[in-house]
């Protein structure tokens, strides 16, 4: 199934597998999208329009997080390797593992807020045409914030 504004190539299983592998290795959504030949807006549209895809994206990200958490746990038994894992967690999961200012949002937090907002809008807007317009304008704003 193809969503408005989403090329068929976005839905290929090969592209999805590549995205999931990059995320499971600890890569960002932006890096995964780029490696699969997608723009950030195309990735966001696919994430919001394909429930199975968005679930696998989250699962892949959790897989990476667990890997690095286990690495830190193992490192407490020795002195090697924990710093790199801690660095990754601070940057990828700063809201949980970093010491950041609470009055500022990180780019990841802004992106998460946009995703959550789009999910709420998707669940409540019945008109596909209206939702697609909101999604298009919202992803354009997000892309401007990321550039």
DSSP 44-113: HHHHHH-HHHHHHHHHHHHHHHHHHHHHHHHHTTSSSSHHHHHHHHHHHSHHHHS---TTS--HHHHHHH
pLDDT, the chain, mean:
80
pLDDT for the residue 58: 95
Residues 6+ away with beta carbon under 8 Å from 145 = 107, 110
Give pTM, 2 decimals.
Answer: 0.57
At 6-41, the pLDDT tens digits run 544 456 888 889 999 999 999 999 999 999 988 888
């Amino acid at each position: 199934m193809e969503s408005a504004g989403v090329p068929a190539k976005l839905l290929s299983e090969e592209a999805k597998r590549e995205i999931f592998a990059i995320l499971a290795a600890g890569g960002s959504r932006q890096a995964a999208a780029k490696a699969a030949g997608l723009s950030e807006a195309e990735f966001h549209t696919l994430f919001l329009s394909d429930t199975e895809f968005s679930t696998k994206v989250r699962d892949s990200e959790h897989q990476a997080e667990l890997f690095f958490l286990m690495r830190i746990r193992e490192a407490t038994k020795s002195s090697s390797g924990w710093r790199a894992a801690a660095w990754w967690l601070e940057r990828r999961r700063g809201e949980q593992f970093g010491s950041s200012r609470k009055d500022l949002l990180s780019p990841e937090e802004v992106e998460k807020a946009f995703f959550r907002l789009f999910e709420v809008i998707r669940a409540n807007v019945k008109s596909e045409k209206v939702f697609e317009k909101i999604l298009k304008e919202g992803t354009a704003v997000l892309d401007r914030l990321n550039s």
